[in-house]
Amino acid sequence: MEIVHVSAECYPVAKAGGLGDVVGALPKYQNDLGHVAKVVMPMYRTRFLVQHDWDVVHKGYTHMGSWWFNYTVIKERTNKLGFDLYLVDIYGLLDREKIYGYSDDPERFLGFQIAVVDWIAAWSHQPDVIHVHDYHAGLIPFMLKYCHKYRFLQNIPTVLTIHNAQYQGWMGWDKSHLLPEWDSWGWGMLEWQNSINPLASAIKCAWKVTTVSWSYLDELRTAANGLEALFEYEKGKCVGILNGIDTAVWNPATDTYIENHYGPSDAADGKLKSKQILCERFDLDIDKPLIVFIGRLVGEKGADLLPQVIVDSFTHIGRTMNFLILGSGFPEVESQLDNMKGISNRDYSVYIGYNESLSHLMYAGADFILMPSRVEPCGLNQMYAMRYGTVPMVRNTGGLRDTVVDYGDPDGYGIRFNHAAVGDITQGIWRAVQLYGQESTFQRIRQTMMELDFSWETSVQHYLDLYQQLK
Ligand code: ADP
Ligand code: GLC
């Protein structure tokens, strides 16, 4: 099968979170099974772009409303990522450093999607599936069905994967003229609650919809940032497929970001060496358990609760643990966490920013990883952590619920708590400190986790089965 993935992110080209990791891995595993999976994404001005060689494969000319533009599609020459990687350039729109965060993001991603569809329309054949990821590519299924110029592509099956339904890409109707001329009978397929809603449109127009865990799909029927009724209505075409992890990139025995490699049998020693590096760099006490948080400092991740959790843990449990935080996001949370460095007694530190290499060192050197998420469609951190022998402490939600079993349950290995609330999280930290003190149980849990299989192999097959149903 020929599968075209359309996404705003793809590791290692451009990544802001798990979407990038998934789109950088899934196509590779699909190709390994003999399919032809391709990725098309915007040509941001990233380091990856300048460090690689590219061929121009298409030049096109189209329009977004009254703005006519040239676009260029380039392809990475060596197939380095294990799949064909295409970047779309639109001068003035996509030629920026960052992925998100510009005031004209709606136009940027709309222009990108128009160019992608326009390019595919110029192919001499049609792919077997167009697989769109999140709202940034969400208007493509609509365009294939309702835009006059591209309607001849309407028989190409489309799949939407929802990595995060919180972000939907709402636009006012004043932007409707920016879409390629469309059949006005189709307006309802763009609309949700009086706006153009690209994610809702994709849920309505895609042939199949997947979410990145089973529990998240269940939760969306009651909590979907306004789309609950739509999920209920469209449940027949929705299916949960748990993400995998790229075990070639995330492997403590070979990870190029860490110096001290290890496997399940020498994890205690290997991890201690990475912990030592972290403790020296961030002035932490190596004798205490190291609890880390890695992620976007936003409400979904429960990041705003961290300051109080840390203070309460120090006050009520005692100064018996270290906290190290890596993240960026809401400025208030960033500055609160940064200011707290003042209370450290060699037991708290924070790195504000995005740092891929530090994240790997933290997965390797930490004893526990805390994920107090309010919403977690899948979550990759806990799976990476487990592969690195780091015990996940997670809120019982979404993909966290589907991947972490509490160590108090039969065959369990993690710490789960029910509410994204300071008391529940602090209680989880108390359990972590207790567990750390039980040397043999802690080592056994570590061993169990490292041998769990979260690889893509199973999930890839589920996607392929889904595509087959669309033929
Ligand atoms: P989300 O996509 O919602 O942010 P995931 O758990 O799926 O959450 O994936 C997060 C990914 O982004 C992981 O690979 C994690 O290591 C990485 N990550 C998040 N924040 C940072 C950061 N500040 N520095 C480095 N990596 C980060
Ligand atoms: C999103 C979700 C996260 C998921 C990731 C990859 O960003 O927030 O839970 O793991 O996408 O699917």
Contacts of 328 (CB under 8 A, 6+ apart): 296, 297, 334, 352, 353, 354
Residue of 380, 397, 402 with the most ligand 1 atoms within 8 Å of its CB, for mutation:
380
Distance of CA 160 from the midpoint of ligand 2 (Å): 14
Contacts of 361 (CB under 8 A, 6+ apart): 257, 258, 274, 277, 278
Write down the pLDDT at residue 158.
98
How does pLDDT run across 346-385, given as a tens digit for each residue? 999 999 999 999 999 999 999 999 999 999 999 999 999 9
How does pLDDT run across 126-185, given as a tens digit for each residue? 999 999 999 999 999 999 999 999 999 999 999 999 999 999 999 999 999 999 999 999
- Does pTM top 0.85 for this prediction? yes
Confidence of residue 116 (pLDDT cuts 50, 70, 90): very high
Contacts of 305 (CB under 8 A, 6+ apart): 372, 420, 421, 422, 425
Residue of 100, 294, 402 with the most ligand 1 atoms within 8 Å of its CB, for mutation:
294
2-244+456-469 in CATH: which number? 3.40.50.2000
Q: Which ligand lies nearest to the CA atom of residue 134 in the structure?
A: 2
Distance of CA 69 from the midpoint of ligand 2 (Å): 33
Which residues have C-beta atoms less than 6 Å from ligand 1?
A: 17-19, 21, 294-296, 326-328, 354-356, 359, 378-381
Distance of CA 122 from the midpoint of ligand 2 (Å): 33
Residue of 9, 19, 136, 225 with the most ligand 2 atoms within 8 Å of its CB, for mutation:
19
Question: Do 2-244+456-469 and 264-450 have matching folds?
Answer: yes
264-450 in CATH: which number? 3.40.50.2000
Question: Which atom, in ligand 1's list, is nearest to the CA of 243?
Answer: 7
Question: Which atom, in ligand 1's list, is nearest to the CA of 19?
Answer: 2
- 3-class SS string, the chain: CEEEEECCCECCCECCCHHHHHHHHHHHHHHHCCCEEEEEEECCCCHHHHHCCEEEEEEEEEEECCEEEEEEEEEECCCCCCCEEEEEEECCCCCCCCCCCCCCHHHHHHHHHHHHHHHHHCCCCCCCEEEEECHHHCCHHHHHHHEHHHHHHCCCCEEEEECCCCCCCCECHHHHHHCCCECHHHHHHCEECCEECHHHHHHHHCCEEEECCHHHHHHHCCCCCCCHHHHHHCHHHEEECCCCECCCCCCCCCCCCCCCCCCHHHHHHHHHHHHHHHHHHHCCCCCCCEEEEEEEECHHHCHHHHHHHHHHHHHHHCCCCEEEEEEEECHHHHHHHHHHHHHCCCCEEEEECCCHHHHHHHHHHCCEEEECCCCCCCCCHHHHHHHCCCEEEEECCHHHHHHCCECCCCCCCEEEECCCCHHHHHHHHHHHHHHHHCHHHHHHHHHHHHCCCCEHHHHHHHHHHHHHHCC
Mean per-residue pLDDT of the chain: 97
Pairing of strands 36-42, 84-90: parallel
Q: Which ligand lies nearest to the CA atom of residue 167 in the structure?
A: 2
Q: Which ligand lies nearest to the CA atom of residue 11 in the structure?
A: 1
Distance of CA 121 from the midpoint of ligand 2 (Å): 30
How does pLDDT run across 224-258, given as a tens digit for each residue? 999 999 999 999 999 999 999 999 999 999 999 99
Q: What is the mean pLDDT of residues 398-405?
A: 98
Identify the sign of the CA torsion 10, 14, 20, 25: positive
* Domain boundaries along the sequence of the chain: 2-244+456-469, 264-450
Which residues have C-beta atoms less than 6 Å from ligand 2?
A: 17-19, 22, 163-164, 212, 243, 376-380, 399
Q: Which ligand lies nearest to the CA atom of residue 378 in the structure?
A: 2
Write down the pLDDT at residue 471.
85
How does pLDDT run across 309-350, given as a tens digit for each residue? 999 999 999 999 999 999 999 999 999 999 999 999 999 999
How does pLDDT run across 9-53, given as a tens digit for each residue? 999 999 999 999 999 999 999 999 999 999 999 999 999 999 999
Cα–Cα distance measured from residue 220 to residue 213, given in angstroms and rounded to the nearest whole number: 11
Write down the pLDDT at residue 467.
98
Say what percent of the chain tops pLDDT 70: 100
Pairing of strands 67-76, 84-90: antiparallel
Q: Which ligand lies nearest to the CA atom of residue 212 in the structure?
A: 2
Residue of 7, 10, 19, 21 with the most ligand 1 atoms within 8 Å of its CB, for mutation:
21
Pairing of strands 191-192, 195-196: antiparallel
